[in-house]
Structure 1
Amino acid sequence: MAIAKAERLMNLALCLLGTGRPLTKRELRTSIEAYIEAGTEDAFSRMFERDKDDLRELGMVIDTVESLDGEIGYLARRDRNRLPPLTLDAEEAAALGLAAKVWQQARLAGAASGALQKLRAAGMPLAGAEQETFSALEPRIPAGEAAFEPLMIACRDRRPVTFGYRKSNAAHPEQRQVEPWALECWRGHWYLAGFDRDRGAERVFRLSRISGRVRSRSGAFTAEVPGVVAVRESVAEWAGESATGQARIRLRAGAGYPLRARATWTGERMDGWDELEIPYGHGLGAWLVEFGPDVIVLEPAELRADVVDRLRAVAKG
């Protein structure tokens, strides 16, 4: 929904809820800025009727009242538009609190914080003073990438986007045309799944590798959006989670804890390095490159060559 229309609907709803008596179309037109600027009377009437229908479709109960002199007025009685008491169990409240943290660095941070405060005031079992002792263990979902908010909006509105994207083995970004489907956080990083128009296939993009502005484009999607978009599964497969073999690496002591957590075997050395065996599958090379000089690939040879090529490409950039 366009921001201008959403604002107009909100103003109409507030007028109808805040009045103590039915308001005529003439009174509503002089009370709402968008109606004042509507131009002709016919243009205003069409806009008002559409807005009234939209509010009713959203669930608002609007009464039409005819006065003694035959004039029609409208109002929305508060007792007929009051939501039932909101009750959340501990698990639902925790999920809501965690979702709000996604906005801690985004434009809606203030709105999310205000909503949580209202829920706490209503007695919802959200994180409180009794849980501050365990704040070090509190889960957090970072949303610091500049691309997060425009991509979230594009996913919601089903709008194609373009952006510059640098692959892990590329020195410079290239322009991508994408129909965005869904965003998901995995291992502390945000990923976008969507249809890459240039490649004619589904692709997953890591937001931290997006450069420049994300620009939305007009027009409808050309590919059907799947009923279930398995972002995490796709990323996991590309990151070597769906393993087809074993890789042996040398890892600097005290580094690479995510790799250690996946190791099927670990051997300590006396020179400040450890040797590990980890599951090897498609995309593992891109993940190993992120650990930079703390990782040396021993085998297989094709994985070692892949990591070396990626590091050289980054160094050239």
Structure 2
Amino acid sequence: MSGNRNSEVEVHWDDASGRLLNLVIALLNQRMPRSLSWIAGHVDGYGDGDSADTVRKRFSRDRQVLEDLGIRIVESEIHDDDNHPETGFRVERSLSFLPEISFTPGEWDAVTAASRWALTDSQARQVRSAFSKLAAAGQRESAGGVSPVVGEVPDTLDLGGEDVEAINRALDRGLALEFRYWPTPLAQPQDRRMDPWALAARDGKLFLTGFDLDREGQRTFRLSRLTDVAVLQQFITHDRPAGSPRSLVARGLAAAATETTARVLFTTDGAHELRALAAPGTPDNPDNRAEPQLTDPRGEVLTLGPVDRDRLVRLAAAYAPDALVLDPPEVVDAVITLLDHAATVYGGEQP
């Protein structure tokens, strides 16, 4: 297995991503719904000599991934050449595509944050170039947002095309997996083995869930924390529970207590992305906004969550000092650790 997780990797187009794109293009360009047999014969990535059952499972999983990304594939009854009824599929344009892009102040804060953090020099050039083009197009003026001090720290994605294909193959054929897993970007990697059950998106992130063969229980892994994925030559011994991929991932995250609730002090009117994580106001509140939980001379205090703990830590670090986590203590310590690391690696004052 590979050594340094944070080393640069070659950027390439993997087969799974290509298959998803081919499927969307094919169904968009058809005047009528198309059957699974048509998809297997006309969409690259489905007609590789696999059985009809394998094609069905692959399409079902791809359909769920696309739906998590906002692209809706709907079904209706059609008839084959012999006038036998069968199910046809098409992309529903009205439910899948957004209008012309514009940014609210909070969204512009998020774009600015992303532009200010890059793990390598090559990434920094590309990200800041894209940000400059958006600003030149007038998005900064229309948004009117204020940039956070530190950009949100992203995960490093080491998964290659072979890794993604290994996950898909294991899910299709009911085989066990082994891989290397980083609990946090700065932790030492762990070798893990599992019977995979489902792959699904939650809060904009992809997760793999299944039965951990060494921990003897369900575990859920963020895809951006995996690398060196390999299919084992053994069938899974723990059957997948009932439920959709998304529900299985949600169940795994809840069981692992990866979500948390925190009280955050907002010292300015910014940090809109963090504010959006607060619980909505009561029906008596005409703006349906979250109400401050207590009075503080420095600003307003809101309770955020339940939200993914890692996401909360990164966002709080991104918007400091406009947003300060008050509790729980473990989240406060995690934010300080992340800011300390950023200051050490990239320079600047210690928090």
Q: TM-score, normalised on structure 2? A: 0.45
Give the number of the structure whose alpha-carbon radius of gyration is greater.
1
Relative contact order (alpha carbons < 8 A, sep ≥ 6): 1 or 2 greater?
2
